[in-house]
Structure 1
Amino acid sequence: MVRVLKLPQWFVGLLFAVTLWYFTFATFRENFWLTFLFSSAVLALYGVVMGGDRRLRMSRYEAAIAFWVAVALYVFFFVFNFIFSLFETPREWIEQIYDSGGGVPWYYLTVILVLVAIFEEFFWRGYILRALADRMNPLPALILGSLLYALVHVIAGNPLLIVAAFIAGAVFGLLYLVTKSLLATIFCHALFTVAAFVVMPFR
């Protein structure tokens, strides 16, 4: 009798994410932002259907925390970017991140970034991190969840993006575990990415 290997639902979701991220970063570069938006939406739907966090609540206190966390994260990456831009190869990696989607109108990009932040948080924090936290202590769950979030970005072939994804993932994950508010994490994520790509880009 052949024993069928039964994988955890969150692990199946992770394999799904790797597949979608491959098509996003390695295949559809000309329509990067639209493909990225579609991939994120599919993952969010998967996470919600599989029992991920759907509670969208946020107190004023949690909103204030999310805002200042976004500001602190932006300042950290501003310094991070300044240091790495002094070297030729890391500077090319930074330019590669901004050149991924080509020239896109700022209003169009803003809408996409906000939607992507919503979808990513539903999947990565509301589903993956929550599933991990249900099975292990918060700290290992946070580290593993951030590592998985970073590793799917390996497909992009940009070492700086992988490191940035791990750091941002850890910050968003910690905010989620502390506040228990998915909306606060979405708010923080959206603020940071819009600031970093539209309002005050690092390039």
Structure 2
Amino acid sequence: MMKFLTDIKLVIGFIFAHFLLYLTFSDKNVFWYIFTASMLFLITYTILNESVDDEVSTNTYLSIGVISGLILFGLFWAGNFLIDILNLPFSTQISKLYNRLSPTAIWHYIVLLLIIIPGEEIFWRGFIQKRLFKHVNVWPSIIISAVMYSLAHLYSGSYMLVFAALFAGLFWGWLYAWKRSIPLVIVSHLIFDLFLLVIFPLY
């Protein structure tokens, strides 16, 4: 089962992602610059090493993408509601994370929508998870890729972001395994982030 560790392209891509996200989270003053450049690099790495899956029609990936993005946001909203109701200590950390990393300038929103969100899905689902498909069964590939995705967020210093990335990674990983469509998971991620950061921010 661990034979995926011999996939050199997979291992190198994962190391690149960790190094780039370490740089991204190292200084909040350059966060958006480094994050954008990192995603462009990882998109390029993916395109050079894997084809991009798009196995459903436009109407299908748009409709399922929008609905799934709303469902995921609803789950996050419910979790945040429970944290507030139960007065758990996580709320302070979530608030600090919002204040530190949320987009504040117009160009932040532009690169988020056009580069960062598509880049995350192209790399983590379209490269990491797709290559795992070659070595392990579907559910192990979903779980392993979600863990790998969440571990890359350790450099944020926020265990809530790591947990959120794990949960979202499992959701989008399952979605990708189900329909094998990168545009679908990109739309889902876009809708989720639009509600989380713009339309109905939780903090």
Q: TM-score, normalised by structure 2?
A: 0.89
Whether 1:108 aligns to 2:107 is yes
Structure 2 Cα separation of the partners of residues 130 and 31 of structure 1: 31
Structure 2 Cα separation of the partners of residues 108 and 200 of structure 1: 20
The answer (yes or no) to whether the contact 1:55–1:182 under 8 Å persists in 2 is yes
Q: Secondary structure at the match of 1:100?
A: helix
User: How far 1:142 sits from its partner (Å)?
Assistant: 0.2
User: How far 1:61 sits from its partner (Å)?
Assistant: 2.3
Give the equivalent residue in structure 1 for 2:3: none
The answer (yes or no) to whether the contact 2:61–2:183 under 8 Å persists in 1 is no
The answer (yes or no) to whether the contact 1:109–1:198 under 8 Å persists in 2 is no
User: How far 1:102 sits from its partner (Å)?
Assistant: 6.2
User: How far 1:82 sits from its partner (Å)?
Assistant: 1.7
Give the equivalent residue in structure 2 for 1:23: 23
Give the equivalent residue in structure 2 for 1:127: 127
Give the equivalent residue in structure 2 for 1:43: 42
Structure 2 Cα separation of the partners of residues 42 and 116 of structure 1: 11
The answer (yes or no) to whether the contact 2:121–2:186 under 8 Å persists in 1 is yes
Q: Secondary structure at the match of 1:72?
A: helix
The answer (yes or no) to whether the contact 1:31–1:101 under 8 Å persists in 2 is no
Higher alpha-carbon deviation: 186-195 or 88-97: 88-97
% identical equivalent positions: 26
Higher alpha-carbon deviation: 184-193 or 87-96: 87-96
The answer (yes or no) to whether the contact 1:53–1:130 under 8 Å persists in 2 is no
Q: Secondary structure at the match of 2:16?
A: helix
Give the equivalent residue in structure 2 for 1:3: none
Structure 2 Cα separation of the partners of residues 56 and 32 of structure 1: 34
Aligned residues: 197
Higher alpha-carbon deviation: 89-98 or 147-156: 89-98
Q: TM-score, normalised by structure 1?
A: 0.89
Q: Which deviations, in whole Å up to 9, do the C-alpha atoms of 1:39-82 show, x marking residues without a partner?
A: 11111111111224265864312321111110110010001112
The answer (yes or no) to whether the contact 1:196–1:202 under 8 Å persists in 2 is yes
Root mean square deviation, CA, Å: 2.0
Structure 1 Cα separation of the partners of residues 123 and 103 of structure 2: 28
Structure 2 Cα separation of the partners of residues 103 and 173 of structure 1: 25
Give the equivalent residue in structure 1 for 2:188: 188
User: How far 1:88 sits from its partner (Å)?
Assistant: 5.7
Give the equivalent residue in structure 2 for 1:59: 58
Q: Secondary structure at the match of 2:101?
A: coil
Higher alpha-carbon deviation: 161-170 or 89-98: 89-98
AA in 2 matched with 1:38: A
Structure 1 Cα separation of the partners of residues 169 and 10 of structure 2: 17
Structure 1 Cα separation of the partners of residues 62 and 151 of structure 2: 29
User: How far 1:94 sits from its partner (Å)?
Assistant: 0.6
Higher alpha-carbon deviation: 71-80 or 39-48: 39-48
Structure 1 Cα separation of the partners of residues 11 and 125 of structure 2: 14
The answer (yes or no) to whether the contact 2:66–2:188 under 8 Å persists in 1 is yes
Structure 2 vs 1, CA of residues 175 and 197 (structure 1 numbering), >3 Å: closer, same or farther? same
User: How far 1:201 sits from its partner (Å)?
Assistant: 0.6
